[in-house]
Structure formats: C-alpha cells, structure tokens
Amino acid sequence: MSTPPDYIRAYMAERPVDAARAALVMIDMQYATGSRQGALARKLQAEGSRVGDYRFDRIERSVMPNTLRLRAHFTKLQRPVLHVTIGAARPDALDAPVHMRKLFVEFENHVGSRQHEIVDELKPLPGEHVLRKTTIGAFASTGIDSLLRALGCEQLYLTGVSTNMCVETTAREAADRGYLVTLVEDACGTTHEDLHQATMRNFQRLFGRVCSCDDALRELGA
C-alpha cells in the first residue's frame, strides 16, 4: 500500500522479517459481526440500511480468501496460528467491561451462542490457539502476550475485523510491547473504506508495517 512520504516513519527502526519468529493472528472472525449471516448484518437489514454492504462484500471477496492463504502458509511453515474472539462468558455480559455489555447482549455474543462462534470457513484447526477477549484490544483481557512469548513469536501478522477497532487496537498494543507488527491490508475489513484507509496510513507512523497478502507471503518465503 503506497502512502505519501511521512517524516515520522523516518524514525522507525529497520527490523528484518524472520518467518521463524512469526505468528498469524486472526481477529474477531465470528458470526456476530464478521458474517453476512450474523447479528450485525440482520440488524442493518431490518433497519433498511445498506451501510453493511461494503463490510460484508470486503470480508467475502478479500478478507476471507486472503486469510485462508496466509493460514495455509503459516501451517506449512509450522508457525503458530492464533484466533482472537470477542464476546462475553455470560448471556448478560456482566463479565465484560461496562462499555461492551450492550453490544454483546444485543448481538447475543456470548460463549455457547452461534454468534460467538468463529465462521465455519476459519474454524480452528488442531494445534491452533483460541483466545477470548472482552475488550477492544486483545492484550487488555487475554493472555496473548505470555502465549506469544512462550511460543517464541516476536513478529505478528494481523488479519480480521474491524480494521479501525479491534485489529488496530490489538496491533497498537502489540507494537507498544515490542512486537514487529504487520497489518495485512487486504485481509482486514471494516464498515467504511475511509476508516480502513486511515488506519492503514496511521499505523505506519511508528507503530508497524502494512503490506498486501501477496507481499506477506513473498517475504515469508511462499
């Protein structure tokens, strides 16, 4: 993804990519907000809104196929694949932060519900890791940091939804903890293209890297 010259980027350290230290992290690819068959899509349809069209078209045409390509390559490399989900443990969401409860309850996003499940196309395979968060960022409410360090992962490739919310927050949290973070641009999606593009442009200012799925596969030796 090309961007105008940015003086801030000049201060980023050069860090070589090392597939032997990499992990794939898929964010919130669940029925609640990551599928045209899920609660968010149904709500928008009932309201007569077309605002979700861009989101679900992008998930189906870009996010899903590119995430599957990345997952296949990480599996081939025998490198860790992590699924991060969002949702409550209880239907009343009382285990979640106050600002997240209404969303979880309205979308029935709790453990054991269909909405909480990872979409069938990306169901976790044997050996893949699943972490549930109740916050926007994964580092605030899961053990992802200790898991990644135990697995010897210092370089992260992030995909999923929503670009400007859970993906971006998790990526920033990881960068602040010293990880080399890459947002795979065409494997992330959100509801508005301008928000997606703004996230990608801003993330490259000190936080980390942005690249396409093809470029990620190439640099990882596909």
| Strands laid side by side in the 22-27 sheet | 129-133, 81-86, 22-27, 155-161, 180-189, 209-211
- CATH number given to 7-219: 3.40.50.850
C-alpha–C-alpha distance, residues 164 and 113, integer Å = 25
Domain residues of the chain, as ranges? 7-219
Mean pLDDT of the chain: 96
C-alpha–C-alpha distance, residues 73 and 188, integer Å = 17
Tens of pLDDT, residue by residue over 89-135, are: 999 999 999 999 999 999 999 999 999 999 999 999 999 999 999 99
Confidence of residue 149 (pLDDT cuts 50, 70, 90): very high
Q: What is the pLDDT of residue 58?
A: 98
Q: What is the DSSP string of 24-88?
A: EEEE--BHHHHSTTSHHHHHHHHTT--THHHHHHHIIIIIHHHHHHHHHHHHHHT--EEEEEE-B
Q: Is the pLDDT reported for residue 1 higher than 60?
A: no
Summarize the confidence of residues 46-52 as an average pLDDT.
Answer: 94
Return the sign of the alpha-carbon dihedral for residues 55, 33, 37, 185: positive
Q: Is the pLDDT reported for residue 198 higher than 60?
A: yes
Q: What is the pLDDT of residue 74?
A: 98
* Count of alpha carbons within 13 angstroms of residue 124, beta-carbon side: 19
Contact (Cβ atoms closer than 8 angstroms) between residue 123 and residue 67:
no
Confidence of residue 5 (pLDDT cuts 50, 70, 90): low
Q: Is the pLDDT reported for residue 7 higher than 60?
A: yes
